[in-house]
Chains A and B, each alone.
Chain A
Amino acid sequence: MILQIERIAKSFEGGDAQRRRKTIFEDLSLNLQERDFVTILGPSGCGKTTLLRLIAGFEKPDRGKLVFNGNPIKGPGPDRVVVFQQSGLYPWLDVRHNISFGLRNSTRKVDWKAVDEMVEAVGLTGFETYAPYELSGGMQQRVALARSLIMHPQMLLMDEPFAALDAHLRRSMQNFLIELCARFETTVLFITHDVEEAIVLGQRVLIMGSSPGRILGELDSREVKPLGDDIIDDPTYRELRRRAVQMLDSQVT
């Protein structure tokens, strides 16, 4: 078990005039196995980003505990790297220096060979000295991914990283991510509000509901492989999709 979340509660001070506290979680538990590729599917506002930020260590729970690799989570660290929706690349650094950013926190002598291998792994050979703003959105996210993977994190936390990309690019990035994570043997928790993305990417799909945030159900989607545009014709996919939508709809009433 790489991650155990036990009965956590979390609320924030509300932004409204009465400063009512907004409850995100009341009693949430969740376990993740090593090398899982788990997607969390839920409507916006259900608390999925908060869950990810708790695991990353950016937030602390009001109650309950989060245990990663046997140790309670105390703060952010390179063993659990987040890939945000915005690539968050540093515009004053070129591709190589963005990728090596984390490495240079702990060493003066960067292993540039490893950096160049990572550049190649994300298919950006030839773009090493480009500035982030000279790259397309998809390429920027690949740099962000490379910057995270080079830290050899045990877990990759992804917060709708492809939401800003167009449909075609999104599909190729999804395929690319699956390959890459298999190669680097990383456990992935991937957040999305896109039903197709959740099913195609995840081995486990957790469907989340809101107020308070909770897991409505789980789907086993190991059978579904990302095929391309003909995915909609795959009966397994269609069945999973129907069940996911049903669970999400049960919330709306």
Chain B
Amino acid sequence: MLIGPQRNVVLRVLAHVRVTYIIVLGAALLAWEILAASHVFPIFAVPPPIDVYHSFISLTTTGYLGSTLQQDLLVSLIRVSTAFVAGVVLGVAIGVAMSQNRTIFAIIDPFLQFLRPIPPLAYVPLFVVWFGIGELPKVLLILVSVVPVIILNTTGGIRSIPNYRIEVARNLGSSRVQILRRVILPSALPEIMSGMKVAIGVAWSTLVAAELIAASQGLGWLIQQAGTQLQTSIVVTGIIVIGIVGYLMDIAIRLLERLVIPWRDYA
């Protein structure tokens, strides 16, 4: 239940979305239509908006290669959310451990720095060999892309806590565990949530790579299958759906941010 100022936050975000974004969206749609109608590019390269709309309708009703858009969306959503939630929990735990213990930091940090620049796509063959072609390798691949982002934001957030804030707690008799739970975690929360915003984007981009692994459903799979058959209007539909869902998740995290950490600008 949302009350008082919290409800206002929701309204403010919605109002913000309505005004500017619809204008931008309309302009983009118009430019797209003009580009498609000009026939500068062949129709399979730039399908007109109306074709994409028709694909969308047929995808949601009859489906494509045995599954509807809703089913693909659901499968992908489950993969992304499972990996995202697990990745956040794991990333925060590792980040906290690293910042509390020098040895743990010294052990994990080299791996982190080494693995960070490698695109998740590069792991696909390995993951197939290691974990087969079920749900596990797909979820793990997304997880692997999420965890470093969360770790870095967690350690960064903890590092930037002003010293006196921890000294106050020590002074008032807080134990190490109490300091962690009552001071360090809430202090690092704004940066952890920033990390979550970045990570949700990373998770969706990794999804397509994850669904390269012998998938038979999912938005990434849909895009690839349609791509090999030059069904570009389906590809574009899939891209738009991923974009919208990713964007909605970003808004959800932002809302969560304002509800959970209204003090972030004063921290």
Query: Measuring CB to CB, which residues of chain A are less than 8 angstroms from any residue of chain B?
Result: 56, 58, 75-78, 80-82, 84, 86, 88, 90-92, 101-102, 105-106, 131-133, 147-148, 151
Stretch at the interface among B78-86, B143-151, B166-174, B209-217: B166-174
A81→B263 contact, CB < 8 A: no
B183, CB-defined interface residue at 8 Å: yes
B164, CB-defined interface residue at 8 Å: yes
B118, CB-defined interface residue at 8 Å: no
Q: What sequence of 0s and 1s flags, for each residue 152-189 of chain B, a beta carbon within 8 Å of any chain A beta carbon?
A: 00000000001011011111111100100011001001
Q: What chain A residues lie within 8 Å of B162 (beta carbons)?
A: 86, 88
- Shortest Cβ distance from residue B189 to the other chain A in the assembled complex, whole angstroms: 8
Q: What chain A residues lie within 8 Å of B178 (beta carbons)?
A: 105
Q: What chain A residues lie within 8 Å of B182 (beta carbons)?
A: 101
B267, CB-defined interface residue at 8 Å: yes
A131→B175 contact, CB < 8 A: no
Query: Measuring CB to CB, which residues of chain B are less than 8 angstroms from any residue of chain A?
Result: 162, 164-165, 167-175, 178, 182-183, 186, 189, 261-263, 266-267
- Shortest Cβ distance from residue B5 to the other chain A in the assembled complex, whole angstroms: 12
Docked Cα-Cα span, A129 to B80, in Å, equals 39
B164→A151 contact, CB < 8 A: no
Q: What chain B residues lie within 8 Å of A86 (beta carbons)?
A: 162, 164
B167→A92 contact, CB < 8 A: no
Q: Which residue of A lies closest to B263 (CB)?
A: A91
Q: What chain B residues lie within 8 Å of A90 (beta carbons)?
A: 165, 183, 186
Q: What chain A residues lie within 8 Å of B164 (beta carbons)?
A: 84, 86, 88
Q: What chain B residues lie within 8 Å of A56 (beta carbons)?
A: 171
A76/B263 contact (C-beta < 8 A), A86-B164, A105-B175 known: no
